[in-house]
Structures are given as C-alpha cells and as structure tokens.
Amino acid sequence: MPDILLRNVPPEMKRQIEDLAHGHKRSISSQAKVLLERALSQAIRPERARGAGGLGTRLKSLVSQEDWTDDFIPPRDHSDRAPPDFE
C-alpha cells in the first residue's frame, strides 16, 4: 500500500490527532486515515457543486428526456395475477 508523508504539520494539529487516536484506541496513522476518509467523503466535487446544478437537476438527469413531464407517473401494471400464496 502506498505511503503519504505529511511535512510541517502544526503542533496543535498533531496534538489533536494524537488525542483523537488515544480516545479511539487507534494509532496516529490509523486516526489520520479515518480523518482523511471522512473529509474526502464529505468533500464537494466540482461537478456536484451548486453551480453545476442542485438535487433537482441531478434527479431530472436520471429520467430520460422523452419520459420527462411535470406530471410524470409511471404506468401501472393492471395485469391479472393470482393472489400470493404464503404456504
């Protein structure tokens, strides 16, 4: 697995990571990885930034253009089928 070396970490930041690691019974390296994973999962990617469209724009992109209307309701299945048998 590749390594990352962080240089010039401020002493206060290092102390905070050490305190968190101690509180969670992890090594400093493991705690740093957890913090990086959290930060990356919460990061706003440029293509998902507000300027690129919000939730409504992304939801609309999931429906094909020919199916898009303001009152889109998927057709209901009216086929006759036997009632479920739970035995």
With respect to residue 36, please indicate whether it lies within any of the assigned structural domains: yes
With respect to residue 38, please indicate whether it lies within any of the assigned structural domains: yes
Distance CA 37, CA 4 (A): 14
With respect to residue 69, please indicate whether it lies within any of the assigned structural domains: no
Tokens of residue 22, six digits: 């101690």
With respect to residue 71, please indicate whether it lies within any of the assigned structural domains: no
Q: How many domains does the chain have?
A: 1
Tokens of residue 20, six digits: 């968190």
* Domain extent at residue 16: 8-45
With respect to residue 68, please indicate whether it lies within any of the assigned structural domains: no
With respect to residue 64, please indicate whether it lies within any of the assigned structural domains: no
What's the whole-model pTM score?
Answer: 0.49
With respect to residue 79, please indicate whether it lies within any of the assigned structural domains: no
pLDDT in tens, the chain (87 residues): 788 898 999 999 999 999 999 999 999 999 999 999 888 887 766 555 555 678 888 787 787 777 666 676 777 777 787 888 898
With respect to residue 53, please indicate whether it lies within any of the assigned structural domains: no
The residue with tokens 């998927």 is 74
